Structures are given as structure tokens and as C-alpha cells.
Amino acid sequence: MENKNVIQRAAKHQRNWFGKWHTWAGITAGFVLIIVSLTGSLLVFEQELDVYFYPKLFDFEPTQESAMTFEEALLLVEREMPEISARGVYQQKDRANALMLYSDEEPYPQIIIDPYRREIRGSRVYKNTIMGFIRNFHRTLLIPTAGRYFVGVSSLVCVILMITGLRLWIPKKWKQWKHLKARMSVKWDGSRKRINFDLHNTLGFFFAPFITLIALTGVMITFSTVVIGVLFLLSFEPPKNVAKLLNQQSTYVAGAPSLSIPEVEVIVQDLYPTATITGINIPKDSLGAFSVNMRMESTMRTGDVSFVSIDQYSGEKIFSSNDPLYKMGKAYTNWVTPLHYGTFGGLPTRIIALLASLVNAALFITGFIIWIPRWRKQQKSRAKAVAKAQKLQNT
């Protein structure tokens, strides 16, 4: 009996501490996480919403003619918009198969091309678009430099909230089904206070795994430099291999012409016959290399995202994300972003990610409603204690 009492007192003490961590974590990061959750829910369908908001840029009508090639798109921009220094061109499957060219010079314009009519539809700075603003708000809170770290730390706090929340969710008499069932349902005929409390508990319990996964991957995206460095340490690769990854340059040959884009595409398809080329970055200077993005056959709905660097003179492979030394980094590129936005399993997982983001925001609202009366009660108790102490002091 004495041992049982000790365990009960320890459990109560632990629960009190978890309650304090849960409360202060929510107060500290709640407002930021509401913003990040709501904007994140929109980014789950970022490409589709971009097309919806700007239909004139993406109202393409497929023709019987073959779609425009990457080289044709670059030549078109060079001819009609010579002031733009296009460095890369990508096919945007979720944006009506548009070809989009990017420049690495400020203000980083984005040129949209109809691949069927072979015409430029428009030029824009993505951060000034509706979805570009939402993406920037989601990642940085519109605060230069420090904003992204606020978001990253808040995401880490969100993980703490999920862990402490699940501990607080466990009823005292957890071995009895009726008590567990009560925590997994909402008493709709109860008071507003009870309905709010039940919603907080029920939504938190069912969506905690998904919210935790989204928050953890959000932390990894924010602190990607550190995460990728740790992954390379875990892969036990020698410094020479890491240097090879970071130093992807062509071997300069004086007077030799650079390969054409079709030549590079042929080389890549010979190396990876099952790959689908989704984009190409052209060399910036005489030492630069072609960087080709691909999607390999995969069980993932988003595909196996890969890239390969090609020497612009010899056509030799400099580096590929399919090389063994990149195995840990490949896991990062293939899974972190798809898990964060729920794209890895197609529409069903995207819907789950959308709901989890909205529920996360709802948890902070319902949690705040739970906390306010408790905070007011504490304030009244403190005020009474102070008044009582002053009265005793005056007597």
C-alpha cells in the first residue's frame, strides 16, 4: 500500500510538471504556431491555389503538337526578354504543366511559358504573389533573418506540446474503458466549457501523431544546414567525399564549346533510362556545371527526387544524388518535404496534412479558452492572498 501511494504521488507530481510545461509552451509559441499552421494548411495545395489565383497565366490548352522543350523555352526567353538572365527551367506538373524559368539575379523574376502554344504568358516575382506571400509568412513571419528561426523554435515547442498533451490526456483511471472512451469523445449536450475541453482533448489525441510529424520535419527544414551536416556525420563518409559534393565544378577546357541542353538530356537519359527530367540549371560561368533534376520510379506519389551534375565540356557525371555517399542526404530530400506537406501519398495524405494543420491551430484556440478562466482564478487567489497579508501586517 505504501509503495502504491508513492507511485501515485510521483505520477501526480509528474502530471503537474507536464501541465506547467504544456501551459507555458502554449503561451510562448501559441500565436506563432497559429500563423504557421494556418498558412501551412494553404501551402499543402500551393501549386493548385497559385493556378486558381492567376488563371490567365495558366489557362493552357494542350494541342496535338509535342510540348515545348527546355532548350526551346530558354531560347524563347533569350530572344524576347534579353534583359532576363535565365539560369534554370522547370516543368511544373501541378501548374498545368507550365514551363517556368528562373533567374538568380534580383529581384529573381519567374517567367511562365505555355508549352503548347510556345509563348510567354508573363513574368513575375513570386514573393509578391498571393501564394508567395503566404509561403514567406509561413517560413519567416515576414521578419528578415531571425523570423525563420522563430518558426523553427516554435515548431520544436509544438513537439513538446504534443508530448506533454498526450501525457495530460491519459485519465487517472486509464485501465477502465469508460474513462478512456470519455477522453476520445465529445459530450455535445454538455456546457460550452465542457464541449471546448472535450474538443481540445479529442482532437489532440487523434491528430497528435500527424502534428508531431509535421512539426519535426518543419524543424528539420528550418535548420537544414545543421541537419544535413549531421546526416553526413552519421553516414561516416570521409571528408574527401563531402568535398566532392560541395565542389561540383566542370574541368575548364580553353576554347571548348559548352554542351547543348539536348546533349545533356541524352547523357542523363543514358545514365538513368527510367528517369523523368523535370528541370535543368545551366552553368553560370566557365567552371559551372549542368544540374539536372529528375524523378525516378518510386512507390512514393511524389516520386524519387534526384539530381545529377554534368561537366559542361566533357559530359561526364560529376555527382549524382543516387551515388552511395549521398544515401543519408537522399533520405532527407526524398522524405522531409513530402512528409511536411503530406505529398508523399498523393491526395489522401495531403488532406490529412491539411486537417492536421487546421486542427493544430484549433488546439491553441481551445487551449487558450481553457487557460483563461484558470489564469483569472489564479489572479484572484493571488490578489486575495496579498490583501490578506496586508491586513495582517496592518493589525
Complete DSSP assignment for 320-385: ETTSGGGHHHHHHHHHHHHHHHTGGGSHHHHHHHHHHHHHHHHHHHHHHHHHHHHHHHHHHHHHHH
- Asked whether the predicted pLDDT for residue 237 surpasses 70, the reply is no
Least confident of 56-65, 144-153, 352-361: 56-65
- What is the reported pLDDT for 349? 93
Confidence of residue 38 (pLDDT cuts 50, 70, 90): very high
Give the closest residue to 365 by CA, choosing from 38, 16, 41, 17. Answer: 38
Confidence of residue 53 (pLDDT cuts 50, 70, 90): very high
Question: In this predicted model, what pLDDT tens digit does every residue of 327-384 receive, in sequence order?
Answer: 767 777 778 888 999 988 889 999 999 999 999 999 999 999 988 888 888 888 888 8
How many Cα atoms occupy the beta-carbon half-sphere of 23 within 13 Å? 12
Is 40 exposed, middle or buried, given 0-12, 13-18 or 19+ CB atoms closer than 10 A?
buried
CA–CA gap between residue 294 and residue 280 (Å, rounded): 9
SS3 content of the chain, % helix, strand, coil (to 5): 60, 15, 25
CA–CA gap between residue 370 and residue 352 (Å, rounded): 26
CA–CA gap between residue 238 and residue 243 (Å, rounded): 9
Question: In this predicted model, what pLDDT tens digit does every residue of 68-80 receive, in sequence order?
Answer: 999 999 999 999 9
- Asked whether the predicted pLDDT for residue 395 surpasses 70, the reply is no
**Interval 188-208 mean pLDDT:** 92
**Interval 51-61 mean pLDDT:** 92
Task: For residue 61, give the 3-state DSSP assignment.
Answer: coil
- What is the reported pLDDT for 7? 45
Q: What are phi and psi of 242, to 5 degrees?
A: -65, -40
Task: For residue 179, give the 3-state DSSP assignment.
Answer: helix
- What is the reported pLDDT for 303? 58
Confidence of residue 13 (pLDDT cuts 50, 70, 90): very low
- What is the reported pLDDT for 6? 44
- For residue 277, is it left (φ>0), alpha (ψ between -120 and 50) or beta? beta
**Interval 151-168 mean pLDDT:** 90
Q: What are phi and psi of 364, to 5 degrees?
A: -75, -35
Task: Please name the helix (run of DSSP H) or strand (run of DSSP E) that holds residue 59, with its range, or none.
Answer: none
CA–CA gap between residue 290 and residue 252 (Å, rounded): 13
More confident residue, 238 or 249: 249
- Asked whether the predicted pLDDT for residue 155 surpasses 90, the reply is yes
What cell does 299 get? 512507390
**Interval 1-27 mean pLDDT:** 63
pTM of the model: 0.83
- What is the reported pLDDT for 17? 66
Least confident of 222-226, 269-273, 311-315: 222-226
- Asked whether the predicted pLDDT for residue 229 surpasses 80, the reply is no
CA–CA gap between residue 147 and residue 140 (Å, rounded): 4
Question: In this predicted model, what pLDDT tens digit does every residue of 94-110 receive, in sequence order?
Answer: 898 999 999 988 889 99
Confidence of residue 389 (pLDDT cuts 50, 70, 90): confident
**Cell 501523431 -> residue:** 209
Q: Mean pLDDT score of the chain, rounded to an integer? A: 86
Longest dimension (CA), the chain: 100
CA–CA gap between residue 101 and residue 109 (Å, rounded): 8
- What is the reported pLDDT for 165? 87
Task: Please name the helix (run of DSSP H) or strand (run of DSSP E) that holds residue 82, with its range, or none.
Answer: none
> How would you list the strands of the sheet with 98-103, edge to edge?
119-124, 110-114, 98-103, 86-92, 276-281, 289-296, 304-311, 317-320
- What is the reported pLDDT for 184? 81
